[in-house]
Structure 1
Amino acid sequence: MADLEIRDLTVEVDDNEILKGVTIDLDQGRTIALMGPNGSGKSTLAYAIAGHPAYTVTGGTMTWKGTDLTDLTPDERARLGVFLAMQYPVEVPGVSLTNFLRTALNAVSEEDVPIREFMQRLKSEMAELGVDESFLQRSVNEGFSGGEKKRFEILQAALLRPQLAVLDETDSGLDVDALKTVSEGVNRLQGPDLGVLIITHYTRILRYIRPDEVHVMFAGRIVASGGPELADELEAKGYEGYDQVSANA
């Protein structure tokens, strides 16, 4: 049994079926990449795993370490170690980065982490990611550049130490320097206690974060699976032809 087991998952958004029988396994200590063109359903899978209420599971199963995720709230999933780095992180005016992170850490830890310990951990992780301490006085994502938002997502993961990290288009909108910084942050988190699902339609992040497996999604289905060489093939040939594979599935 894999730590994350998704079997024949179907998901609807506004009564439109987006995922049409997705099956994926992921164990802690491994990294898999889910690739596909825009609109293929990759982000739908990410939000379904995280428990976004707009994404309705209509069939199949989704378990994490034997626990059925389907009826759990997002915060219950977070306390089980599930983390989502969003493609488009939202701004939260008036809520400081410091208060946001401490509240999140206390919620996941289910205890009140002493402020001194929290600040030591936070500043250490910020230094590793190259996040300036002036950010501590800013509101969550307000006025952040694209790279700053993605660094903040990885900072959250570094502080919360999840067991499953779903990275939805983490490379979107990043220049080369920001991409390297974010990738180094992800690589630093990798280890036997973390499973990583990287969702992307470009191969460039996979030059810095090497996956153990690659899956291709098209029209809500997994249409191809393989090793890292599959990403190289997609780089060379693109997604042409996968529409026919999906139609015949």
Structure 2
Amino acid sequence: MSTLEIRDLHVDVETPDGPKKILRGVDLTVKSGETHALMGPNGSGKSTLAYAIAGHPKYAVTSGEVLLDGDNLLEMSVDERARAGMFLAMQYPVEVPGVTVSNFLRTAKTAIDGKAPALRQWVSDVRGTMENLRMDPTFAERNVNEGFSGGEKKRHEILQMELLQPKFAVLDETDSGLDVDALRVVSEGVNRVKDNTDVGVLLITHYTRILRYITPDYVHVFVNGQVAEQGGPELAERLEAEGYDRFLAPA
């Protein structure tokens, strides 16, 4: 059993006008096997939380802690956080020209595990996972995210998650830009990882449509850089019906 614990996290982002405070004291705990949905309006700080956990240099943590099994992730480099068990599926995956998907995946697996995977088993694992995600086998020889459609990019993120098997996965708006078929395939991939491992999932989303396929244990409403309310799956249904108006201060 592992625990990801965010304690009183405050984060600034650098802007042309100087630092701007985005996160204003976030407290959130995710345990192995749990799925937490983080929902909120645009600009509320959800992606800032994801990138702060991952270690993006643009986001400056001014106070607070992010603990994975008691170890402070904020004291680790980005690669050390990945080796500790963190995984981020990005909202806007970047292109990596000149690096094929197959080389990228095997290099990442080697870095995470500290040794190269057995080649025959690895090839079988990659092929089987791609098949489950309805990805053409030739996809493996394409450059990472170069010329990928939105759906291909998101399937590639889940392909990484399935193969790397992290302790905790932060999925930053994995549902954005997906049609209903791609959404179903991506959701099935997340559920496969959950069924086969004890991964804890922090699922960031605006809408409830992905929650029809991935059932959360807890739902957190994120407004103005803080958790404004939390509850079970029924809270997501209320948000779908009422929106976020009741959490927003009058203009």
- TM-score in terms of structure 1 length: 0.96
Q: What is the CA distance between 1:2 and its match in structure 2?
A: 7.1
- Residue 2 of structure 2 contacts residue 167 of structure 2 at CA under 8 Å; is this kept in 1? no
Secondary structure (helix, strand or coil) at the match of 1:18 reads: strand
Q: Distance in 2 between matches of 1:2 and 1:39?
A: 30
Q: Which amino acid aligns with 1:193?
A: D
Residue from 19, 25, 28 that aligns with 2:29? 25
Secondary structure (helix, strand or coil) at the match of 2:219 reads: strand
Q: Which amino acid aligns with 1:3?
A: T
Structure-to-structure mapping, 1:1-249, within 5 angstroms: 3-14=3-14, 15-191=19-195, 193-244=198-249
Q: Distance in 1 between matches of 2:137 and 2:116?
A: 23
Give deviations 1:8-27, integer Å, cap 9, x for gaps. 10001101110000000100
- Residue 2 of structure 1 contacts residue 25 of structure 1 at CA under 8 Å; is this kept in 2? no
Identity of matched residues, %:
60
Q: What is the CA distance between 1:136 and its match in structure 2?
A: 1.2
Q: What is the CA distance between 1:104 and its match in structure 2?
A: 0.3
- Residue 216 of structure 1 contacts residue 224 of structure 1 at CA under 8 Å; is this kept in 2? yes
Q: Which amino acid aligns with 1:13?
A: V
Q: What is the CA distance between 1:115 and its match in structure 2?
A: 2.3
Give deviations 1:18-75, integer Å, cap 9, x for gaps. 0000000100010000000111000000011111111111111110111111121111
Q: What is the CA distance between 1:114 and its match in structure 2?
A: 2.7
Secondary structure (helix, strand or coil) at the match of 1:130 reads: coil
Give deviations 1:220-248, integer Å, cap 9, x for gaps. 11111110000000000001121139x9x
Where does the alignment leave 5 or more consecutive residues of structure 2 unmatched? none
Q: Which amino acid aligns with 2:215?
A: R
Q: Distance in 2 between matches of 1:111 and 1:117?
A: 14
Secondary structure (helix, strand or coil) at the match of 1:131 reads: coil
- Residue 169 of structure 2 contacts residue 200 of structure 2 at CA under 8 Å; is this kept in 1? yes
Secondary structure (helix, strand or coil) at the match of 1:241 reads: helix
Q: What is the CA distance between 1:116 and its match in structure 2?
A: 2.0
Where does the alignment leave 5 or more consecutive residues of structure 1 unmatched? none
Q: Distance in 2 between matches of 1:231 and 1:53?
A: 32
- Residue 97 of structure 1 contacts residue 139 of structure 1 at CA under 8 Å; is this kept in 2? yes
Q: Distance in 2 between matches of 1:30 and 1:153?
A: 20
Secondary structure (helix, strand or coil) at the match of 1:90 reads: coil
Give me the CA root mean square deviation: 1.5
Q: Which amino acid aligns with 1:175?
A: D
